[in-house]
Amino acid sequence: MSVFRELLLKDYVTLAGTITGTLAIVLALLGVFYGESSYILFATFSWSVAMACDLFDGWVARKLNQANKIGKEIDSLSDAVSFVVAPAMIILCASLNGEFLTFPLPAESIIFGVLVFVFCGIIRLAWFNVEDKGEGYTGLVTPMSAGFLVAFFISHYHFNRLATAWPEYHALFNPVGVFFGNTLSVTIYMIILGLLNLAPFLKYSGDMQKKRGTWVYILVILGTFLAIMILLAGIFTGLNTNIAIFIGHSFALFFLFCVIGYIAHGFITYLSLRRKGES
């Protein structure tokens, strides 16, 4: 077909991310079908590969000086799959599999959070396509809101299994796990993250828009490395290696706090610009 002649190398990298993002959705659904949350854990690995592709396609485009109209559309649609639908499905399937405490709401109640997250995420991507990005951009980018949800699931998944692997640690932090790991809290996270995608009080500089910031690159790389560690942890878990479970839990918590730091950076930048009268 002639359409393939329009595609450049960077577009194939983007499409690789689309495939792995779709695979994450499929694996999450298989987790519900078979009643095995390990499938959902592998979905997070596939999602992290999609995130790496999102980083790499921009690098390829800059290095090879590649740009085309269809590529821009593919990139936006790919982001919708990988960073809006996929993380929402991972959380929903995890809830249906009983990973979160069904208090005070049933597992199905997370559907409301999913709808808000997807609704705001799609608007965010459309807004990003049309907004003037000369001075940077506004709102939380979808890879970061998606990253928060994925990291939260990974952390909670391993925390649940620490009840057997490390009972003392689990008992110590179980009140925290109950507070943050119930269906009401998770629904609230999804709603807040969706709204942050559109938040006017999160600002990121032009340099971060152009390069996504050196430390944001590191964030993505750490996220991919995290996924590899989680995959290994999943394998080791089958061998009753309790340390691997704790490593997976710790790496996920680290990435979770990195995303929170990214959000805080956007708010600090907004306050700084407001003081200068530029906001």
Q: Are 234 and 161 in contact (CB under 8 A)?
A: no
Q: Which residue has the tokens 């999609």?
A: 50
Average of per-residue pLDDT across 179-183: 95
- In this structure, the number of other CB atoms found within 10 A of the CB of residue 65 comes to 6
pLDDT digits (tens, 9 = 90+) for 29-69: 999 999 999 999 899 989 988 988 988 898 899 899 998 98
Q: Are 190 and 88 in contact (CB under 8 A)?
A: yes
pLDDT digits (tens, 9 = 90+) for 62-113: 899 998 989 989 999 999 999 999 999 999 999 999 999 998 899 999 999 9
pLDDT of residue 112: 97
Average pLDDT, the chain: 86
pLDDT of residue 197: 97
- In this structure, the number of other CB atoms found within 10 A of the CB of residue 211 comes to 13
Spell out the domain ranges in the chain: 2-275
Confidence of residue 165 (pLDDT cuts 50, 70, 90): confident
Q: Are 115 and 92 in contact (CB under 8 A)?
A: no
Instruction: Please give the distance of CA 274 from its chain centroid, rounded to a whole number.
Output: 29
Q: Are 149 and 193 in contact (CB under 8 A)?
A: yes
Identify the DSSP state of 278: -
Helix, strand, coil abundance in the chain, percent, nearest 5: 80, 0, 15
Q: What is the pTM of this model?
A: 0.89
Average of per-residue pLDDT across 118-130: 93
Average of per-residue pLDDT across 207-220: 54
**Higher per-residue pLDDT: 170 or 207:** 170
Residue count (the chain): 279
